């Protein structure tokens, strides 16, 4: 007969066998619970983290995240490629088609003279016998229309008839060379340095201005631009337009130069005809003297009074690294009453003058910051951006083509999204690098942002583009209502794919 001691010991062992596994698993369960809670907290802080999807939106989210997963699993991922190489692959992606159809609200960082495909510009503006060219391909050119054969004015050599040059070279050959002068197209990374690509970029803007701002063509150009935006799901556009020493003014072949108001009227009328709303940010180039900025601010304020709700603020444009910092104009800017929409931090030079522009932009209460690429280096400024709800206008493809970042997965947009900064997505000067419209930027942004972002982030970005626009509160409300109707139709379509 077993002793009482033995029976008690046996019972203790059996109890231990039953209890120990339970205790052994509790640390793992606790760990997994804490891990899930940490991930949930971080995801809730990200852009779109507070968006609650309806059942239909959840179905649509499953569709678009599955399409995104295909891109996430692709090797190499398209955001890792230079845009010139990624573009044809993006166009074939089912995800791109889904994003083309998406109502995107507004495009808030768009330059007025550089967002139409240059192939279209060449086909529609350069087969005119009144067009002349100064310079040579590869060495720099100017283009301008004259009603009589021009002399040597504004050209150190002599103006040559484009029609005669085209006949001599052949249409196809001439147009190919002209396209090379007016775009940054290439394969891989054709420009060795940031300064080199900016030099070509600036040359393009000067050369193309003679086409874009020719009076008979300017309205046609603007109308086509707005048609492209509307077809790409954009209902509101905010154009940055330079008005300075003749820049931004349309001209006639007889030499007549029209007023800045004439340009504004063209913009307003073209947008109305297409059916999109438009606002204009009055810009000057950041290489000018302080007194010129002062005069420009006064002109901008007068134009805001003449065009209330249309002309909405002021900005300084051009390559930040070689231009004057905002602090060079601080006396003029402090005395201005115009809202500011400053380019700032469009640089890879930490704590250089262009990087410090971010501090001045916030101290000057900029409504939005264009690019803000350097913001990732400044934790205190990021806190300020969140507290002030200062919109950061992210232009991913521009930042890649202009050599701030090689792989878009390394773009600070990834951290901006996870930290929940108030962001929008814009094309900047997309026509110059073959990304007209806005969907290419949305595609690269969406894929680069990580494999956990989905429809909530896309929805928040679209809403941001309206609620963080320069529209009045009443106009914002109208636009959001209009957008929600389009969004509902889009979600219903997407859920069925």
Q: What is the CATH number of the domain that holds 450?
A: 3.20.20.140
Residue 279, beta-bridge partner list: 238
Catalytic site residue 346? Answer: yes
pLDDT band at 97 (very low <50, low <70, confident <90, very high): very high
Q: Is residue 6 in some structural domain?
A: no
Quote the CA–CA distance of 416 and 375 in Å, as a whole number.
Answer: 9
Q: Is residue 176 in some structural domain?
A: no
In the predicted structure, residue 370 carries a pLDDT above the cut 70:
yes
Q: Is residue 451 in some structural domain?
A: yes
In the predicted structure, residue 191 carries a pLDDT above the cut 90:
no
SS3 193: coil
**Unique residue bearing structure tokens 């204009």:** 280
In the predicted structure, residue 411 carries a pLDDT above the cut 70:
yes
Q: Is residue 154 in some structural domain?
A: no
**Unique residue bearing structure tokens 């190919």:** 176
Mean pLDDT of all residues in 181-202: 86
Quote the CA–CA distance of 413 and 391 in Å, as a whole number.
Answer: 13
pTM here?
A: 0.92
In the predicted structure, residue 396 carries a pLDDT above the cut 60:
yes
Mean pLDDT of all residues in 149-165: 88
Q: Is residue 45 in some structural domain?
A: no
Contacts of 97 by beta carbon, 8 Å cutoff, 6+ apart? none
Quote the CA–CA distance of 144 and 251 in Å, as a whole number.
Answer: 10
Catalytic site residue 371? Answer: yes
Structure tokens at 41: 């907290």
Catalytic one of 57, 215, 320, 346: 346
Mean pLDDT of all residues in 251-270: 95
Domain extent for 265: 65-117+233-495
pLDDT 10s digits, 36-83: 888 878 887 889 889 999 999 999 999 999 999 999 999 999 999 999
Q: Is residue 22 in some structural domain?
A: no
Contacts of 300 by beta carbon, 8 Å cutoff, 6+ apart? 282, 311, 313, 314, 338
Q: In this structure, which long-range contacts are made by residues 42-46, counting pairs with CB atoms below 8 Å and at least 24 apart in sequence?
A: 42/418, 43/452, 45/418, 45/419, 45/420, 46/417, 46/418, 46/419, 46/420, 46/453, 46/457
Which pLDDT does position 187 carry in this prediction? 62
In the predicted structure, residue 14 carries a pLDDT above the cut 80:
no
How many domains does the structure of the chain reveal?
Answer: 1
Catalytic one of 343, 371, 411, 479: 371
Q: Is residue 180 in some structural domain?
A: no
One DSSP character per residue, 257-320 reads B--HHHHHHHHHHHHHHHT-EEEEEEEEETTS-HHHHHHHHHHHHHHHHHSTTTEEEEEEES-T
Q: Is residue 91 in some structural domain?
A: yes
Structure tokens at 87: 């573009």
In the predicted structure, residue 20 carries a pLDDT above the cut 70:
no
Q: Which of 233, 235, 247 is nearest to 112 (CA)?
A: 247
Q: Which of 304, 262, 267 is nearest to 282 (CA)?
A: 304
């Amino acid at each position: 007969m077993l002793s009482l001691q033995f029976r008690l010991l046996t019972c203790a062992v059996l109890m231990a066998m039953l209890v120990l596994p339970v205790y052994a698993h509790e640390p793992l369960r606790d760990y997994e619970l804490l891990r899930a809670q940490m991930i949930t907290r971080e995801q809730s802080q990200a852009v779109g983290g507070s968006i609650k999807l309806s059942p239909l939106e959840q179905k649509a989210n499953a569709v678009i995240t599955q399409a995104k997963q295909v891109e996430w699993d692709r090797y190499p991922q398209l955001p890792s490629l230079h845009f010139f190489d990624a573009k044809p692959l993006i166009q074939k992606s089912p995800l791109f088609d889904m994003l083309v159809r998406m109502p995107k609200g507004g495009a808030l960082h768009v330059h007025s003279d550089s967002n139409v495909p240059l192939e279209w510009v060449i086909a529609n503006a350069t087969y005119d016998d009144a067009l002349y060219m100064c310079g040579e391909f590869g060495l720099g050119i100017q283009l301008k229309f004259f009603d009589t054969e021009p002399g040597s004015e504004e050209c150190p050599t002599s103006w040559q008839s484009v029609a005669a040059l085209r006949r001599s070279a052949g249409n196809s050959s001439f147009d190919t060379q002209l396209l090379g002068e007016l775009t940054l197209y290439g394969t891989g990374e054709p420009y060795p340095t940031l300064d080199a690509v900016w030099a070509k970029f600036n040359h393009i803007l000067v050369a193309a201005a003679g086409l874009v701002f020719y009076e008979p063509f300017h309205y046609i150009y603007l109308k086509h631009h707005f048609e492209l935006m509307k077809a790409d799901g954009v209902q509101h556009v905010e154009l940055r337009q330079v008005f300075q020493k003749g820049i931004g003014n349309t001209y006639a072949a007889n030499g007549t130069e029209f007023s800045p108001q004439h340009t504004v009227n063209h913009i307003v009328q073209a947008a109305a005809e297409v059916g999109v709303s438009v606002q204009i940010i009055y810009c000057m180039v950041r290489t000018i003297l302080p007194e010129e900025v002062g005069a420009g601010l006064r002109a901008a304020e007068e134009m805001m009074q003449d065009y209330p709700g249309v002309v909405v603020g002021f900005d300084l444009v051009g390559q930040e690294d070689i231009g004057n910092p905002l602090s060079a104009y601080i006396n003029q800017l402090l005395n201005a009453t115009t809202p500011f929409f400053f380019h700032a931090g469009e640089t890879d030079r930490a704590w250089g003058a262009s990087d410090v522009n971010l501090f001045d932009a916030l101290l000057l209460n900029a409504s939005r910051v264009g690019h803000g690429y350097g913001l990732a280096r400044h934790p205190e400024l990021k806190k300020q951006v969140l507290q002030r709800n200062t919109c950061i206008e992210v232009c991913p493809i521009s930042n890649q083509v202009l050599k701030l970042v090689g792989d878009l997965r390394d773009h600070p947009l990834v951290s901006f999204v996870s930290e929940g900064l108030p962001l929008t997505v814009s094309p900047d000067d997309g026509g110059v690098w073959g990304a007209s419209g806005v969907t290419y930027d949305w595609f690269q942004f969406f894929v680069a942002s990580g494999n956990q972002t989905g429809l909530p982030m896309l929805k928040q970005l679209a809403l941001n583009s309206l609620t963080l626009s320069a529209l009045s509160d009443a106009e914002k409300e109208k636009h959001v209502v209009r957008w929600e109707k389009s969004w509902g139709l889009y979600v219903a379509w997407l859920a069925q794919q």
